[in-house]
Amino acid sequence: MSQKRRDLAALFVLALLVRLAVALLISRPGYMDSAYYAAGAVNLAQGGGLDEPFIWNTLDDPAGIPHPGFLYWMPLPSILAAPFAARFPGSFLALQLPFVLLSALLPLVGYELALAATGRRRNGWVAGLITLFSGFF
């Protein structure tokens, strides 16, 4: 196995552990967007499709409920989380799992970009770790 592959594998495992540890600390959606996507995933997992069986806000003024959902937000996060909602009902951690996996790939992108730009492995690691511990995600 090449050094680059070992670096990427180690960085991915580290990122996965960090992201999973952070996800374990979050027991429910913390803001409106994540709550909307979680509700959409649960509804989709329960066979409700992409409809909203609730009035989310006053911006869309629905004629009744249920009504079409995802007219403002795109449905992909709910679609990704729905199989986990179906397999592990009531678990917000389960809804986070596809995003834990996807976000663990971001440090690898940072590593690759820095390595391609500078040709230095050390810079790849720095970029990957900055991406992992950026605080924003």
Digit-coded pLDDT (tens) for 79-95: 999 999 999 999 999 99
pLDDT of residue 38: 96
Q: DSSP character for 131?
A: H
**Span 102-137, pLDDT tens digits:** 999 999 999 999 999 999 999 999 999 999 998 765
Nearest of 28, 24, 31, 52 to residue 40 by alpha carbon = 52
pLDDT of residue 1: 75
**Span 23-71, pLDDT tens digits:** 999 999 988 899 999 999 999 999 999 998 888 776 777 788 888 889 8
Classify residue 76 by burial, with Cβ atoms within 10 Å: 0-12, 13-18, 19+.
exposed
